Amino acid sequence: MAAGSTYEPIATTTLGSTAASYTFSSIPSTYTDLILVVRAALNAAGDIYVQFNGDTATNYSITTLYGTGSAAGSTRFSSQTQALIAYYGNLTSTLGNTNQIVQIQNYANTTTNKTFISRGNNAGSGLDANVGLWRSTAAINSIKLNNSSTTFSVGSTFTLYGIAAA
Amino acid sequence: MANTFELIASSTVGAGGASSIDFTSIPSTYTDLAIYLSARQSRSEVVSNTRIEFNGSSANLSCRYLQGTGSAAVSSSSASYLFAASPANTATANTFGNSYIYIPNYAGSTNKSVSWDAVTETNATGAEAYLVAGLWSNTAAITSIKLSSLSSDNFMQYSTAYLYGVKNA
């Protein structure tokens, strides 16, 4: 990819204090796709989830293909109130030891449900490639990051990029 | 908006091959690094492995990977290396493998986690897909990257690697 202006930062944050969640709000609809890069830690190892537009209904599902370092498998989580973005490639309590990258396709259209692909990477417990679905035709204008533990640690970084087709 | 995805350096292997592809003097002015690698190795096999090292150190590297062989999916790990597959010299002629390597916060003061996706499709048995979670347990900023053959073979002519810097603002 040659240097160009189609891959642009929308927002980024590095937590200065612990937080139960973090939300990207007022996401502009001017891009084609979104990329979310997570480099975070929790007070105890656990999962990380996304919710869109504040929707807490059972409109999320995810199918994961994972490797643990000794086994490979796949499973599905249907009718969830939030969507995992990593399964075995989830967070630890050590900042820098994991990363999660989420690609959300055609996020601003108002005709189709929204799908995303994510990669979770945790060299200590495993990795995964996931496909997620939010059953809503609304344009995504906010993304909330939740976790299964108590808080995201200080220094956790969340960055949202937009990709413009033209 | 800022232009956030910028080419830092690139390398194309010439006639005779190369034992490694090296990126040095990587500036610390970006947030993340991305590498696009197209490679084929000289090893007399269908598939070989490409390893990555940082700052001239081969220590403190580890990975877990998910490997699709065309007939099965398996997962394994290494406590010594961070690597993924590339086609080698007995693979279908003129076929190179693709890798996408992403390194968040490469200049930060924490350990460095790595996401690596690789394919070696050759329209034949032995082709593989790799998803890799890697870790360099070192808090130094990454200033150089070495890509080489895990079996000490060469990258063949026409292998290419492009290093990009990604800015979050």
Nearest residue of chain B to residue A3 (CA atoms): B6
- Asked if the structure places residue A50 within a domain, the reply is yes
Per the structure, the count of domains in chain B is 1
- Give the one of A9, A67, A124 whose C-beta lies nearest to B131's C-beta: A67
Is the predicted pLDDT of residue B17 greater than 80, yes or no? Answer: yes
Residues of A in contact with B131 (CB under 8 A): 67, 119, 127-129
pLDDT, tens digit, for every residue of A59-89? 999 999 999 999 999 999 999 999 999 999 9
> Min CA distance, A84 vs chain B (Å)?
17
The per-residue pLDDT for A2 is 42
Q: How far is A10 from chain B (nearest CA, A)?
A: 8
Domain residues for the domain of B126 are 5-166
- CB spacing of A119 vs B31 below 8 angstroms: no
Span B60-116, pLDDT tens digits: 999 999 999 999 999 999 999 999 999 999 999 999 999 999 999 999 999 999 999
Contacts of A96 in chain B (CB under 8 A): 105, 108, 110-113, 139
Domain count, chain A: 1
Low-confidence residues of chain A: pLDDT under 50: 1-4
Cβ within 8 Å of A, B 48-77: 62-67, 73-77
Residue B124 confidence class, pLDDT cut points 50, 70, 90: confident
At B129, which CATH number? 2.60.120
Does the residue A39 lie in any domain? Answer: yes
Check residue A1 and give its pLDDT: 41
Position A141 in a domain: yes
Query: Who among B62, B66, B67 is closest to A123 (CB)?
Result: B62
Q: Do A3 and B73 touch (CB under 8 A)?
A: no
- The answer to whether position A2 is within a domain reads no
- Which residue range(s) make up the domain with A19? 7-163
Q: What is the CATH number of the domain that holds A60?
A: 2.60.120
pLDDT at site A130: 97
Q: State whether residue A68 sits within 8 Å of chain B by CB.
A: yes
Whole-model pTM: value is 0.94
Facing residues of B102 across strands?
B34, B115
Residue at A1 is within a domain: no
Query: Which token pair is B30?
Result: 């970006």
pLDDT for res B3: 65
Q: What is the mean pLDDT of residues B6-23?
A: 97
Q: Tell me the ipTM for this assembly.
A: 0.92
